Structures are given as C-alpha cells and as structure tokens.
C-alpha cells in the first residue's frame, strides 16, 4: 500500500470538502495560467486547466516529499538496483550520458562510436535503398515514433537517405507488407530483440532471412543483449550490436535499438535526440519539485487517479509527426505502472490510468463525443507544435485552433441556460427547445493539460520522451511500486507456446472448455485449408 502520510489524508479531506470548479479557480486567481504553467527545453506545460487548487498543489508537493522523491531520484541516476524484483539497476539515462558510472559510460560510448561508424559507412556506400526494422513492443514502438518525429527535422520536401519500413506483428501481413516491392540486394534487415527469443521477431526474421536468400549474410543486422542467440540465428558477428540487461525494452530507444534511425536519418540527428533527453535529465535532477516538469505531471496524474478516481487519460497530439506518441505512452505507462502489488508484496493502491489516444483532429471525429458529454470524466493531455515545418502555415493555424478550442470547450462546457437562449434566438418554439436543450448541454469542468512544443525536431522530441519517462518514475515512487519489471506479459507468452505446439500436432494441454473449443476450431480450419 502507499504510505498514508499526512498529505495523503489532507488530499482526501480536500476532495471530501468539495473541489472548486475550473471556472471558480480561474475567477479567484487572475494569475492562475501563469502560475500553473512551466517551461523548459522548448516545452511549455500548462496544467492550469486541471482541477488543482493552491491547497491541492501544496499537499501534492508535500506528498512527493513524503515519498522521498529526491532520494529515489538520486538512486535512479546513481545506478542503484531499484528494479528490486529482478535485482537490476535501471540505467537507461546512461544511454544519453546522464549516469555517473564510469564502466557503464565506457560501454555506452564504445557502442555509440560503433553504431555511428557503421551507419555512416552504410549511408556513404550508396549500396542500399531500404531498411526493414523488425521488432515488437519496446523494440518497435520507440523507433516508429522516432521515424515520424525525425522526418519533421528534415523539413518540407526533404527525403531521408533510405526508405524505412517496419514489421512487428506475428501476423504474416506485417512482414509481407514490409518486404513488398523491395529488392533483397539493396535492403538491410535489422532484427531487434533484447533476448533474441521473442516469437514474433524470430518468425519475421526467419521470413526476412529466407527472402534475402544469398544476400542474408551481408544484409542482416541484429541488435540484442543475447549475442550468442543472434550468431546461432546466422547473423554475422560483425553486424551484431549490443544493448544491455539494465535497459528495459520500453526505455531502449536511446540505444542501438534505434540503429535503423541512424541508418536512415544519420547519426547527427540521433545525437541531437540524445542531447534533448540529457537536457531533460538535468532539469529533472536539479529543478525544485515545485518547478520540476516531470514531478508536476506526475502529481497531476496522482490527483486525477487516486483522489478524483479518473481511471483513464486520453493523449491527443495535434501533430501528425507525433501520431505514434499515444501508442508509445501506452507501453511506457501501462507496462511500467500497471501493477497491483507494492514493493513489499502487499496490494497496491490504484495505479496506472488506462492510456489511449489518436492524433488530432482525427480524434475529434472519433471519440471526443464521449470526452465532452459522456458519463465518465477522462482527463486529456493535449500536445501541440507552434512552428510549421510542412510549409502549410494555414494548416498549422487550423490545427492549433482546434487544439486550444478543445481544451477550452472541455473546461467551459455549455449550460442549459446558454443552450436555451441560443435556440430561442434562432426562433425555435418552446416545446422543441425543451426537447433539444438537454442534448446540446455540455457539463464542462473537464480537466486537461496542454504541452506546447516550440518546434518538433529531434532535440525537442528527446526532451518530450524523457519528460514522460521521469513522470512515470515519480508516480511509481509515490505508489510504492516497481516501474521497471513487467511480469504481467509473461503468462500469456507461456500459454501461447503450449497452444502453438498443440496447433502444430502436439498433445492436448488440458484447457478450459472455451479454449479447447477454439483450438479445435483452428485445427479443423488448418486441416481443411
């Protein structure tokens, strides 16, 4: 359980006594927007539209101190084994130079030199036209996000040196789509798997290896912590790149896991990405809690989840180049903090929210109806980019207008009195007004955070991702859970292996009647095919 300190009880009492509306909070504090907005490294974070009063904010900051955030943060950057269930250090900040361990820094620097040299040689050779990146989970979501984000740095009309495609799903359509129309001779295949035992990656890798044929020896690359497994798969040792046990998959995009991005966009852009994250690391380490962006975002989540009981959060990037950000955060947040056991093994309090989202303005035409008028309140993270990089300034203005309007509309709503007045002004009769007014009323008072990027480039993207990484860490500390294991994904994998054996002719594994019937159905379909 979370330690019940005085500030936890104080927050509970503040909820019990009634939380002021957003309208009242803004009316009572003319300086609220400035006081509740924070900026660093090209990011502007506005939490003024969250249901957080001055008293709530002070109690939340007290809660952070109760949880000894500063000491826990120091342990993270010192490389202490804070992943207690696996007895591992958590050293992904070392991948961007933010860890003081000399031996780790040497390993990271050596691998960085090697990946840079390799990427430059490939780009200068002119021999290849495409890269197919094979991975799943953290070996896919991060690189996909970077592929879109790095494209923004190129600017309108510019093309990367190589075409980049991805295969992740074990569904055969994934690898087929990735390879379609490419030439094996001029295609590099990069397999990314920490263990090199991941079923989806190995199956897709085998399909790609068979497709490469005589070019497989030269054109296959592996990124893994299991170099022996990659060698046994047939990858040339000279083309195996390492990342380490102390890098969790969802935190691994800072490593050689993103080699494909260096091949396609160049090592300089990747270095700029690392520098942006390092800048956010420095801010997280040194800024006072009351001005610390990751801490402020974490405390907002704690307030919404544990005290206002909002179980979900929408993440809406109003930028096509950030369209994968919601999916990336689903893994980062839900795999990290979707835990029901505290560090001492006892039941945890309410932990991670359900995270979902889509790019704006598409999301407005899909599920914003629920956000505005649904019976459940769902806080929203809005993301926007100020600087146009697509040579379409009118589009950028329209995008920003929609983003800002949605957060305002969620806050303000529209009262039945306002609706009735508007309908009457249009000449509608009283009976029709009575029938329609409830349907056009918006409750409002729905909280949101807006994060504005001055520009979208590799540096700012690095800062943004590191911001959310550290936010996840802070919330895990307050919840007293381990953000760095993921035992929950293992059971399904084990059962899938058993069932796959049965589908391929093995003996029955003794299942419940539903699962047994589904297996029988699949066997019959395979036999009839």
* Residue numbers annotated as active site: 335, 365, 493
| HSE-up of residue 324 (Cα within 13 Å, Cβ side) | 17
Q: What is the DSSP string of 477-500?
A: HHHT--TT--GGGHHHHHHHHHHH
Alpha-carbon distance of 509 to 32, in angstroms, equals 61
* Helix, strand, coil percentages in the chain from 3-state DSSP, rounded to 5: 60, 10, 30
Alpha-carbon distance of 207 to 212, in angstroms, equals 9
For 7, the token pair is 């500030």
Nearest 5°: the CA angle 335, 338, 340 is 140
Residue with tokens 């900051």: 61
Alpha-carbon distance of 326 to 328, in angstroms, equals 5
Q: Are 446 and 408 in contact (CB under 8 A)?
A: no
Neighbours of 137 (CB within 10 A): 21
Q: What is the DSSP string of 41-77?
A: TTEEEE-TTSS--HHHHHHHHHHHHHTTHHHHHHHHH
End-to-end CA distance of the chain: 53
* Strand residue runs (E) in 258-373: 312-318, 354-356
Alpha-carbon distance of 146 to 338, in angstroms, equals 25
Question: Which alpha helices (DSSP H) does 67-220 contain, by range?
Answer: 69-78, 102-125, 141-154, 172-179, 199-212, 216-219
Q: Could you tell me how far CA 286 lies from the centroid of its own chain? A: 24
Alpha-carbon distance of 39 to 16, in angstroms, equals 32
Residue with tokens 């996000």: 145
């Amino acid at each position: 359980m979370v330690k019940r300190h005085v500030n936890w009880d104080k927050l509970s009492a503040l909820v019990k006594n009634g939380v002021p509306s957003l309208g009242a909070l803004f009316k009572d504090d003319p300086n609220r927007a400035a006081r509740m907005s924070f900026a660093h490294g090209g990011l502007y974070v506005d939490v003024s539209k969250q249901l957080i009063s001055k008293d709530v904010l002070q109690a939340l900051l007290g809660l952070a101190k109760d949880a000894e955030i500063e000491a826990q943060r120091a342990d993270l950057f010192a490389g202490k084994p804070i992943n207690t269930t696996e007895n591992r250090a958590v050293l992904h900040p070392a991948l961007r130079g933010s860890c003081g361990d000399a031996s780790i820094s040497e390993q990271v620097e050596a691998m960085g030199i090697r990946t840079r040299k390799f990427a430059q040689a490939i780009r200068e050779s002119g021999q290849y036209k495409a890269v197919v990146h094979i991975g799943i989970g953290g070996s896919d979501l991060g690189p996909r996000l970077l592929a879109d984000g790095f494209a923004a740095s190129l600017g309108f009309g510019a093309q990367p040196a190589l075409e980049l495609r991805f295969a992740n799903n074990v569904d055969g359509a994934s690898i087929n789509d990735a390879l379609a129309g490419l030439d094996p001779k001029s295609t590099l295949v990069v397999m990314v798997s920490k263990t090199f035992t991941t079923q989806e990656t190995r199956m897709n890798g085998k399909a790609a290896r068979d497709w490469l044929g005589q070019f497989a020896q030269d054109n296959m690359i592996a990124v893994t912590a299991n170099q022996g497994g990659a060698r046994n798969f047939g990858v040339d040792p000279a083309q195996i790149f390492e990342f380490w046990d102390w890098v969790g998959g969802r935190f691994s995009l800072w490593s050689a896991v993103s080699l494909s991005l260096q091949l396609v966009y160049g090592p300089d852009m990747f270095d700029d990405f690392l520098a942006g994250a390092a800048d956010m690391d420095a801010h997280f380490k040194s800024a006072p809690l009351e001005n610390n962006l990751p801490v402020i975002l974490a405390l907002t989540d704690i307030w919404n989840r544990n005290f206002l009981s909002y179980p979900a959060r929408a993440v809406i990037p109003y930028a096509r180049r950030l369209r994968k950000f919601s999916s990336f955060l689903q893994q980062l947040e839900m795999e990290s903090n979707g835990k029901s056991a505290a560090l001492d093994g006892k039941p945890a309090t309410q932990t991670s929210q359900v995270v979902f989202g889509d790019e704006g303005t598409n999301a407005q035409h899909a599920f914003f109806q629920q956000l505005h008028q649904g019976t459940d309140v769902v806080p929203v993270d809005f993301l926007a980019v100020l600087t146009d990089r697509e040579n379409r300034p009118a589009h950028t203005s329209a995008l920003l207008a929609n983003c800002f309007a949605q957060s305002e509309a969620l806050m303000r709503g529209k009262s039945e009195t306002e609706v009735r007045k508007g309908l009457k002004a249009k000449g509608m009769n009283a009976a029709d007004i009575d029938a329609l007014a409830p349907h056009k009323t918006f409750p409002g008072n729905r909280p949101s955070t807006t994060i504005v990027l001055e520009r979208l480039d590799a540096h700012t993207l690095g800062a943004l991702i590191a911001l959310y990484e550290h936010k996840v860490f802070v919330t895990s500390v307050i919840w007293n859970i381990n953000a760095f294991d993921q035992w929950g994904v293992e059971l399904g994998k084990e059962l899938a292996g058993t069932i796959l054996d049965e589908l391929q002719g093995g003996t029955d594994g003794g299942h419940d009647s539903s699962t047994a019937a589904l297996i029988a159905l699949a066997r019959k379909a395979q036999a009839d095919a």
